[in-house]
């Protein structure tokens, strides 16, 4: 089987789920004839028609609201936010309506909201946001963030089949930059709520997700060469519900932790993971927990400033050495 990109894996998942279940349909801005801003939905309009690949007005609130209504009458909509930044326009539809519907009425809301997110593409403050922490805070939503083509496909399949609203954060920087061969079989589903041990290690744990999995791999290689450190890497994959057992298990194995995410530092996922470890695994730690994340500013447009703003392997290496030499 040939290697496919992260973007192609998402397209494959959409196509296969639409073939499998006629209740699955897509809606979003320019996803039809144009094939989407990033060409994720290219070819699906021709294959499934206008009734199942629907172009919408530029109104994220309407897109998510229509998706919620369709789900309530038995459909399984997949709504695309052209950029994750603009999900704020539909925020109330997600956190006030979709997230609480089952709690209030016992009615499932099987919607997926695809949110192309992340920096490194020189998109500036309006096209680079990582807003996943907002939604992890809201009960009733599930949140996933794949880092590889295999997980991008498998988690999207799981999200579409889930009866809860799922936010699917796909990283734009990864779209065409990483490739891999997918597992054998056309219907490989990655379960929501299960982290993945990317690399076992003995000396320090890097807990991460999304694009930063690849930055952590680069850092681990350098640390092995220069410091003879055996670094463990845990990819959370699902941010809500969090795989608490996997988090505490990696802490138990290494006793030192660096948490890495691309989103801004303050009140990010790293803070929740650090609190989890402090509450349930403090006695296993041999050093304070360190976090590596983006600065608490909007994403700069200028490449040199964006590079300074974002986490990277060099910053991860500095944090690892701090916890090792504590």
What size, in residues, is the chain? 326
Q: How far is CA 54 from CA 31, 35, 49, 247, in A?
A: 7, 11, 8, 40
3-state SS, residue 38: coil
What is the C-alpha separation between 244 and 160, in angstroms, rounded? Answer: 24
Give the distance, in angstroms, between the CA of residue 95 and the centroid of all CA atoms in the same chain: 18
Q: Name, in order, each residue with C-beta under 8 angstroms of 245's C-beta and a sequence gap of 6 or more.
A: none
> Taking the chain, what is the end-to-end CA distance rounded to the nearest angstrom?
46
Q: Which residue among 102, 122, 127, 261 is the active-site one?
A: 127
Q: How far is CA 268 from CA 20, 128, 228, 314, in A?
A: 36, 16, 31, 20
Q: Is 127 a catalytic residue?
A: yes
Instruction: Determine contact, residues 36/80, Cβ cutoff 8 Å.
Output: yes
Give the dihedral of Cα atoms 132, 136, 141, 146; nearest 10 deg.
Answer: 50
Q: Which of 18, 32, 116, 27 is nearest to 63 (CA)?
A: 27
Peptide bond into 159 cis (omega under 30): no
Tokens of 251: 């802490």
What is the C-alpha separation between 235 and 62, in angstroms, rounded? Answer: 33
Q: Which of 234, 215, 247, 232 is nearest to 317 (CA)?
A: 215
Place of tokens 């009140």: 267
Residues with a catalytic annotation lie at: 127
């Amino acid at each position: 089987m040939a290697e496919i990109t992260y973007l192609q894996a998402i397209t494959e998942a959409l196509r296969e789920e639409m073939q499998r279940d006629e209740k699955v349909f897509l809606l979003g801005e320019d996803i039809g004839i144009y094939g989407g801003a990033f060409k994720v939905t290219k070819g699906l309009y021709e294959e499934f028609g206008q009734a199942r690949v629907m172009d919408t007005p530029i109104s994220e609130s309407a897109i998510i609201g229509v998706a919620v209504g369709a789900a309530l009458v038995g459909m399984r909509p997949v709504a695309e936010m052209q950029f994750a930044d603009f999900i704020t326009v539909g925020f109330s539809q997600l956190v006030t309506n979709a997230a609480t519907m089952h709690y209030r009425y016992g009615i499932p809301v099987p919607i997926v909201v695809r949110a192309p997110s992340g920096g490194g593409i020189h998109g500036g403050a309006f096209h680079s946001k990582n807003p996943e922490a907002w939604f992890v805070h809201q009960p009733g939503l599930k949140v996933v963030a794949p880092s590889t083509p295999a997980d991008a496909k498998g988690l999207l399949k799981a999200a579409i089949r889930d009866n809860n609203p799922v936010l699917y954060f796909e990283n734009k920087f990864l779209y065409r930059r990483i490739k891999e061969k997918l597992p054998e079989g056309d219907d490989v589903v990655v379960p929501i709520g299960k982290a993945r041990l990317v690399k076992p290690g003995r000396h320090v744990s890097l807990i991460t997700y999304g694009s930063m999995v690849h930055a952590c791999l680069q850092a681990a290689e350098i640390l092995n060469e220069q410091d003879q450190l055996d670094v463990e890497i845990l990819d959370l994959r699902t941010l809500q519900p969090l795989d608490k057992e996997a988090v505490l298990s990696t802490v138990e194995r290494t006793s030192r932790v660096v948490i890495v995410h691309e989103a801004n530092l303050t009140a990010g996922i790293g803070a929740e993971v650090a609190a989890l470890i402090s509450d349930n695994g403090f006695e296993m730690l041999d050093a304070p927990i360190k976090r590596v994340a983006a600065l608490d500013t909007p994403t700069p447009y200028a490449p040199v400033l964006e590079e300074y703003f974002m986490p990277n392997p060099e910053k991860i290496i500095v944090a690892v050495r701090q916890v090792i030499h504590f």
